[in-house]
Each structure stands twice: as structure tokens, then as C-alpha cells.
Amino acid sequence: MNYAQITGWGKYAPPLLMTNDDMAKIVETSDEWIFSRSGIRQRHYSHVSTGEMSWLAAERALAAAGTDAADIDLVLLGSTTPEEICPNTASFIKNKLGATKAAAFDLNSACTSWLYALNVATDMIKAGSVKKALVIGAERISLAMDWSKRESCFLFGDGAGAVVIEATEQKSGLLSAHMSCVPDSRECLHLPSWGMSPLHLTGGIHVSLNFEGQEIFKSAVKGMADSIAEVLDREGLTAADIDLFVPHQANVRIIQSLAKRLNFPMEKVVVCIDEYANTSAAAIPLALCDALSDGRVKPGMNILTASFGAGLTCGAGVIRWGDRVEPVGQSDAEIPPYEGTVFDLMKESFAYYGVDAEHLLTK
């Protein structure tokens, strides 16, 4: 039987930071207010597109795997913020990498997009359709912030993470995954003007995130817990058999509540929401890359992951790590830096929502 071992990993976290103190200069809030409700201290904002971020994360993942782009059979991007709806952003990434023979497509299930994409690509390898795949999660969700809504504008950040998965006979990689979607829950988390229909009807897109925190919290914890129970049962495992838990980074209270429900100690949970905020589809691969660089991933580990997103989509998976936890190589590819501050970068967004931030801009 084929498995799909993770052999390479890479990330891109944009260098421009919007700290909670920076946020307090834009909306009526404070570091204490934000951190106490979410666990967030800062977020990274990108001056380049989702495709560019994805490309660099993918270059780094290929180097870590010691794999040439020309050997990749599939480039699969999980994202809610593609550069364009048509053509897909995965084709841009494929071309920039030089992955000449690779198929390419995007997958959008909101924050669960990377986990769903990993499941799809793993199943394709198990079926023999492809042998090597790049699975990327990337978001430039700073573009979707409504600066008139202090309850949600601080929640999200930008970034990208990628893994290379390869066919192997060794029992490793994503062993089991469960994907689900909570019924009748679409309206509690959505961008109602993010798509073709409003563009066609109004001639423009006005983005304003609708966010019902209590309903999301309840549905997210239950949905992820149910999916976790399903995948653990499939593999004949219990929470005690899990060495590391890499959950979606949406809110530290959700993470803590889920860990408590599973009777899972927090010292075995990867938490990096303080660094990145909620990066949607990029959250789990970013967290996984950090866990690897911090030495928290060991050969043969059982790693549990779980996610939820708008829809409300949910999912969980059990990953058996392979023998290697160090990258084969390093990529020297880089994205040119932005010449300005985060306030310069977001100037047009602030102005669109009527926020006067002129006094913060670089002269």
C-alpha cells in the first residue's frame, strides 16, 4: 500500500508586523483587550500576493525535501484569497517554480483548506495518480479586514506554508483524515461580498467580515472534537497515543477548550497564534514548520491536527512522521522587502473604511 510521507516543509511569514499596539492606533482597542480574548499579540501583513507568498514557501519546502520542481506531479493550493478566480493561483505557483509537468489546482474550504488539500493530495498518491505533490496553505487575508469592526479586524494575518509529500511504502504521512461541514451554519462566519455575484451585480466588491463569535466557538469545538474522535478510532489510537497536537490557530480559548475536552496536556499542543494571529489556510503548515524548527517534532511521532473554517467546515487528521526532521537543504530565494511601514501598506484599506491614519504614515 502507498502512503504519502512528508519529506519537505517551508514557510513565508511577511516581515511587516501589525502589533496590538499598532492596532490600537487604528481602532478603539488595546493589547490587553485583544490578547485576553484571543491570545494574539501581533500579525504579519504581506505586500505581495498570495501566489508570491506561496511560491517562496514552496521553494523552501522543495529545498528541505531535496527535490527539484521538475519532479513534482501536483501543485495544490489551499486558500480563500487567491490572486484570481480564473485562472487558478496554483498555476502561477507551478510556473514560477518551474514545475513543468505538474497539474495545478486551488481548493477553498476557508481555514480548513490546507488540511482538506493534504487529504486530497494524499489520497491521490495512495491511488497512484501522482507520486510527488506540493501542498500549500496561503492567505493574504489582510485585504478582507473591515476597520470599522473592532471585534474582528484584529483576528487575522497573512502568511504561507507548504509541504512536499511523496509516495512511500513506509507507514507515514497523513494516515487518516475526516472532513465534515456543520449543517446550517454558513452565516455565522462569512464574507458576503467576496465573489463573483456581488461583483456582477454592483460593479465592485465591498468586504465586511460577518463574525458570530459564540456560535463559531461552540460549533468549532464540537466539530473538531467529533472529527478527532473519528480519526483516532480509525487508527485504533487514543489521546494518550498522540505525541503532538497541531490545531488550527484561530483563538487560544478554542485551542484550550479542545485540549481540555480531549484531556490533552497543553505542553503537547503547538500554539503560535500570538505570533501570527489567524492565518486561515496557512495556520497549520506555519505551526508545523515552527514545531520542526523548534525541535518539537521527532521521528515516528503521532501528530494530531484539526481545523475549522467558514462553512462551517471541520476536519482532523493523524500524521505519522517519517525518519527525517532536518531539511536536506536551504533555499536562497527571497521576496524583496517593502519600502515603508505597515501603515503605508494599509493606507488605502484604512481610507476605504473611513479611518484617518494620515498621521501614522511615513512622510
Neighbours of 346 (CB within 10 A): 25
Domains and CATH numbers, the chain: 3-324 (3.40.47.10)
Enzyme catalytic residues: 111, 248, 278
| Virtual torsion, Cα 313, 210, 37, 153, nearest 10 deg | 120
Residue 156 has what pLDDT?
Answer: 93
Q: Can you give the pLDDT at residue 205?
A: 44
Quick one: pLDDT at residue 210?
54
pLDDT at 190: 55
Give the pLDDT confidence score for residue 309 in this predicted structure. Answer: 80
Please write the tens of the pLDDT for every residue from 94-147.
999 999 999 999 999 889 999 999 999 999 999 999 999 999 999 998 988 888
Residues 6+ apart with CB under 8 A from 266: 256, 259
pLDDT single digits (tens) 297-307: 999 999 999 99
Q: What is the pTM of this model?
A: 0.92
Q: What is the pLDDT of residue 363?
A: 45
Q: Residue 124: what pLDDT?
A: 97
> Can you give the pLDDT at residue 187?
55
pLDDT of residue 288: 98
pLDDT above 90 as % of the chain: 72
Q: Which residues of the chain have pLDDT under 70?
A: 182-218, 311, 357-363
Note the pLDDT of residue 362.
Answer: 53
What average pLDDT does the chain have? 89
Candidates 329, 354, 359; CA nearest to 344 is 359
Query: Residue 171's Cα: distance from chain center in Å?
Result: 25
